[in-house]
Amino acid sequence: MDRFIIFDMDGVLINTEAMCYQVWKDLFAQLGVEINMDIYKCCIGSSDDVLMESVWQHCGKDFRGRTDLMEFFETRKLQEIAEHGVPPIPGAAETLRALQARGYRMAVASASPPSHIRLCLEKVGLLPYFEVLFSGEEVERTKPAPDVFLAAAAAMGAAPKDCTVVEDSRNGTLAAQAAGMRCIGFVNPDSGDQDLSAADVLIYRFAELLDAI
């Protein structure tokens, strides 16, 4: 039985997708562009570059390559966290504690920057459960490419076939599939109407992971 679990973070371990969407929505509104969840959701689990491409395709406004917008987003997101904290996923801490007690080794592989990953996990008290933290910024290709999952597995000394991924996005489930890893899709309404058909099984509450694993 596999003993390695790789978690996405935003929308899986912390419920930040709604916050991130609102920050981007407000930012684009200041630029005279209205986005909705259909435009935004394609970037969940992937990179800001994907969002800029989606805005270009749907709105005809070209912000591709605007690193200043991405920096502004990161600054505003940190302000939101400082003011309101990190929204937790109900049952995450208890479930991770139970998995650790069963002998599972766990990692995080997220599209977020390394500093954001560590900050958020520290704030919700989940950091001690993970031996490896990997960011999509540390690999060549972001999700739906499998690079970040393969890197996390290698850091734990695990073969892909012995790893299970927990993801809330289409990009993430496709990345897990491409990595040759079993995937559990976490249905989070705040992540938009994500297509999780690439997952092997779906869960609707975090605590259901104990049975699904």
* Angle, alpha carbons 104-8-65 (nearest 5°): 150
For 109, the 3-state DSSP assignment is strand
> What region, left, alpha or beta, does residue 3 occupy, with left being phi > 0 and alpha being psi -120 to 50 degrees?
alpha
Is the CB of residue 135 less than 8 Å from the CB of residue 117? Answer: yes
CA pair distance 81, 122, nearest whole angstrom: 12
Q: Which positions are annotated as active-site residues?
A: 8, 10
Cα torsion at 182, 45, 108, 6 (round to 10°)? 0
Range list of H helices, 157-213 = 170-179, 209-212
Please give the structure tokens belonging to residue 116: 């954001």
CA pair distance 209, 213, nearest whole angstrom: 6
Is the CB of residue 41 less than 8 Å from the CB of residue 17? Answer: no
